Amino acid sequence: MTNHDATLEWPDGRSRTIEVREDETILEAAERNDIGLPFGCRTGACGTCTGRLLEGAADDALAHRRRPRALKDRHLADGYVLLCLASPRADCRIAVGSSVHTELVDNPWK
């Protein structure tokens, strides 16, 4: 079983590097390390768990277990990933926290 390091980075400057097995998701690995990340459905539908890859191409660094329905193709191209479905294929750095999900949605009130 191959393990990879995933460095999780929050908007306030905190970061944690955790080891993630290729057969577990980033969200599962975070929970195993007592790190709380936002999530909802855990099925790829709600987008609450969205993270954003900070370097490298998403396809090279991570693989979704099933189609990430909450993300549009342009989101995937921009490096957004669903942490409830994504397993690492390489070491990676990922922006996490609830503000990442809000980046996906245009706010009509501002």
The footprint of ligand FES (CB under 6 A) covers 39-42, 44-49, 70, 82, 84
* Residue 101 Cβ vs ligand FES, minimum distance, rounded to whole Å: 9
Opening angle at CA 65, ends 34 and 30, nearest 5: 10
Cα–Cα dist 72/9, whole Å: 23
For the chain, where are the alpha helices, taking DSSP H only? Answer: 26-32, 58-61, 73-77, 98-102
* Residue 82 Cβ vs ligand FES, minimum distance, rounded to whole Å: 5
Nearer to ligand FES, 2 or 69 (CB): 69
* Residue of 85, 87, 95 lying closest to 40 (CA atoms): 85
* Residue 78 Cβ vs ligand FES, minimum distance, rounded to whole Å: 17
Nearer to ligand FES, 1 or 33 (CB): 33
* Residue 27 Cβ vs ligand FES, minimum distance, rounded to whole Å: 7
Cα–Cα dist 100/22, whole Å: 23
Nearer to ligand FES, 18 or 46 (CB): 46
Nearer to ligand FES, 48 or 87 (CB): 48
CA atoms in the 13 A half-sphere facing the CB of 66: 7
